[in-house]
Amino acid sequence: MTGRRARILVETVHRYIRTLQPVSSQELVAAYGYRFSSATVRNELLALEEGGYLHKPHTSAGRVPTAKGFRFFADWLLEVTEQREVMPGLPVEPEPPLPLGEPLLLFQRTTLLLATLTGGLAFAFMPPLERLNCSLVALRWLRPGRALAVQANQLGMVRSQIVNLPEEMQPEDLPQVERFLHALGLERIQDASVDTKLAGWHSRAMVGALRVVQALAQKGDQPGLCVEGWAQLFSGLASHSPSWALARGQDLLRLVENAQTFRAAVLESRMGRRGMAVHVGDGTIPPLAELSVVSAPYWTEEDLLGVIGPLWMDYARAFSASKYVAGRLQWVLAQGEGNE
């Protein structure tokens, strides 16, 4: 859809988001200064209603956007947003970077900032440890054949696990094992493609080092999840009705309780799109039905943050804030990489 009809639909949705009231043809003419008549606008609104973009809650009322109408508006606005280098209305200079030794605090503050800027439910998935460069591995003796491997990555996240060692290995061999690990290259320790097969005789320390590599290359925990803004989301949904808001919120809460399932739903909502994406609830993802999801990568295309809100969420604000916060988080993480 292009031309006058598309313009009228965009401005109808925009007006509804601002007022949360049905929009009439007279209101559009007064608000946007059309050169064409109110009768022409009424005809276009009727065509949009027949096309499923708008509906009339009452015979004598104005029109309200449907999910299809909100989706058209969100897709149009996202295209406009991607053409702009800097979005207005948000701070340009970053806050002082958070210490990377406190990654959980970093992501908690990130989601709190995004929730504050948008008035929605903000989320951020922390990258899984196995995809981050290792910066430190320390071993602690437990008993013959067992040691505790403590691993820290470039963001300061710590992971520990028990690893198997040769039964004949002694506590005094562990420093040599650590030296072998550093010689191999810490950034490769979690690489499952590293060849850990040995031919011929090798020292206990070398065998132990490769056992540690095998253990650390295994898939670890699922990525962590930080969420902020539940009260704001419920407040926004309640403008529809408290009972409807409670039902939507309960469905979403059950989804978010499992970080892996929630991440899969967000990825599905992106439909393979790179960069910023928007999903306007259409029932294809039941827990996100009648909700909108804006998501953006902050590091790789798999590392996402975003905001969830009602269909009538302020998309311009959500796009601007998500783009800004993702860029600031990427900048902070890049500083951490540069300081390794």
Residues 252 and 334 placed together within one structural domain of the fold:
yes
CA atoms lying within 13 Å on the CB side of residue 284 = 13
Residues 308 and 259 placed together within one structural domain of the fold:
yes
Instruction: DSSP letter for 189, please.
Output: T
Residues 293 and 169 placed together within one structural domain of the fold:
no
Residues 246 and 272 placed together within one structural domain of the fold:
yes
Task: Provide the pLDDT for residue 215.
Answer: 74
Residues 316 and 234 placed together within one structural domain of the fold:
yes
Query: How many folded domains does the chain comprise?
Result: 3
Closest of 262, 270, 260, 235 to residue 249, by C-alpha: 235
Task: Provide the pLDDT for residue 309.
Answer: 94
Across the chain, which has 340 residues, the per-10-residue mean pLDDT values are: 87 91 85 79 90 85 89 90 56 47 77 93 82 71 85 65 84 85 59 45 71 68 79 88 87 89 92 92 82 92 93 93 91 65
CATH number at residue 60: 1.10.10.10
At residue 340, the 3 state secondary structure works out as coil
Task: Provide the pLDDT for residue 16.
Answer: 92
In a domain, 70, yes or no: no
Q: In terms of C-beta distances under 8 Å and separation of at least 24 residues, what long-range contacts does 180-187 make, across chains too? A: 180/205, 180/206, 180/208, 180/209, 181/137, 181/209, 181/212, 181/213, 182/137, 184/209, 184/213, 186/133, 186/134, 186/135, 186/136, 186/137, 187/133, 187/134
Domain end (from 176, 201, 216) = 216
CATH number at residue 266: 3.30.450.40
At residue 232, the 3 state secondary structure works out as helix
Task: Provide the pLDDT for residue 98.
Answer: 46
Task: Provide the pLDDT for residue 336.
Answer: 57
**Rounded-to-integer distance, Cα 78 and Cα 70, Å:** 12
Residues 227 and 117 placed together within one structural domain of the fold:
yes
Residues 192 and 302 placed together within one structural domain of the fold:
no
The domain of 140 spans: 130-216
Residues 146 and 210 placed together within one structural domain of the fold:
yes
pTM of the complete model: 0.73
Residues 117 and 234 placed together within one structural domain of the fold:
yes
Residues 245 and 300 placed together within one structural domain of the fold:
yes
Task: Provide the pLDDT for residue 94.
Answer: 46
